[in-house]
Amino acid sequence: MSYDRKVALDFFKSAGKPTDIPKGEVIFQEKDTERRLLRQRSKIYLLLDGEVGLLAGLKPIATVKMGEIFGEMAAITHAPRSATAVARTDCKVIALDDKQFEKALEQQPGFALMLMSMLIGRLRETIARATASGALPEGADLEESAAFDAKRLQELVSGLSNDPPVFYQQGRQIMSEGSKAALMYAVISGRVGISIGGKVVERLGPGGAFGEAALVEQAPRLASAVAEIDCELQPITRPAFLALVKTSPQFAFGVLASLAERLRYLTEKMK
């Protein structure tokens, strides 16, 4: 699913208003320690007009052009900013905090798939670089992670998916890296090990979700998944996902946060 500027504009306009930013103004600061101390929410931005430069330290790392989104990683994960954004020209932006973002998702759930596609594209590039350089990390001591409260997740998916839960015995392969598929999965019970190139990079307990790429692209699986103990999983199709987003925008936010955390983890390990 490719990036569509009109879809992004409609999404941001549904919950926010344009703001003018003068040339030279810092939009957000790397690490943003002061902002976090003041308990100000990180925002995600759509650039309506002008040009924004992104810097890590004092080094320029990217340029944001008109119609593009920026600042999404910190807004989704609530982690410190990894770069500083500065207006290179007079700019006009729409900024959404997490509450406004969730409100917009409720009205336009399809935007979640587009943003997922962007994150998955970056994840594929990062995995390829890490694999080529031999820097792909392996976390033998990784603890279980979960994007959602397990009980709440089970309540949400109940009745919204035509597919019944599936069961996998300990040691059974759930999906294979490089295979094609059309489902993502939510972990109802048990523990799933996610591996890339034979290395375990994530462990998911109840409330965890994986296989999201299948909902946004017809491409090979990014990773393999194995039941580390007996598991109960809920398959989620694309229509069921969109229904879940509309019912609970927090569900989409959780999936996006999970993808962004994976990307942040791999990027940090490569430094």
Q: Which residue has the higher pLDDT, 157 or 45?
A: 45
Mean pLDDT of the region 181-193: 89
Q: Which residue has the higher pLDDT, 103 or 174?
A: 174
Question: What distance in Å separates the CA atoms of residue 162 and residue 108, rounded to the nearest whole number?
Answer: 22
Q: Which helix (H) or strand (E) holds 67?
A: none
Question: What distance in Å separates the CA atoms of residue 75 and residue 257, rounded to the nearest whole number?
Answer: 9
| Position 160 pLDDT exceeds 80 | no
pLDDT digits (tens, 9 = 90+) for 82-131: 889 999 999 999 999 888 988 898 888 888 888 888 888 888 888 888 77
Output the pLDDT for position 140: 46
Are the C-beta atoms of 66 and 47 separated by less than 8 Å?
yes
| DSSP symbol at 89 | S
| Position 186 pLDDT exceeds 70 | yes
pLDDT digits (tens, 9 = 90+) for 28-51: 998 875 454 444 568 999 999 999
| Domains assigned to the chain | 5-104 (2.60.120.10), 109-270 (2.60.120.10)
Output the pLDDT for position 68: 94
Are the C-beta atoms of 260 and 69 separated by less than 8 Å?
no
Rounded to the nearest 10 degrees, how much is the dihedral formed by the CA atoms of 13, 19, 25, 28?
A: -40
Indicate the length of the chain as a whole number: 271
Q: Which residue has the higher pLDDT, 67 or 260?
A: 67
Handedness of CA 26, 32, 37, 42 (dihedral sign): positive
| Position 271 pLDDT exceeds 80 | no
Are the C-beta atoms of 54 and 60 separated by less than 8 Å?
yes
Output the pLDDT for position 266: 75
Output the pLDDT for position 138: 62
At residue 137 the predicted structure's pLDDT band, cuts being 50, 70 and 90, is: low
Quickly tell me which residue has 């019912």 as its tokens: 247
| Position 226 pLDDT exceeds 50 | yes
User: Of 71, 94, 80, 84, which Cα lies nearest the Cα of 21?
Assistant: 94
Cα end-to-end span (Å), the chain? 29
Mean pLDDT of the region 16-39: 79
Looking at the chain, list the stretches that DSSP marks H as alpha helix, in order from N- to C-terminal side.
Answer: 5-13, 33-37, 72-77, 98-107, 110-133, 150-157, 238-247, 249-270
Output the pLDDT for position 224: 92
pLDDT-wise least confident of 10-14, 84-88, 238-242: 238-242
Rounded to the nearest 10 degrees, how much is the dihedral formed by the CA atoms of 182, 187, 188, 190?
A: 130
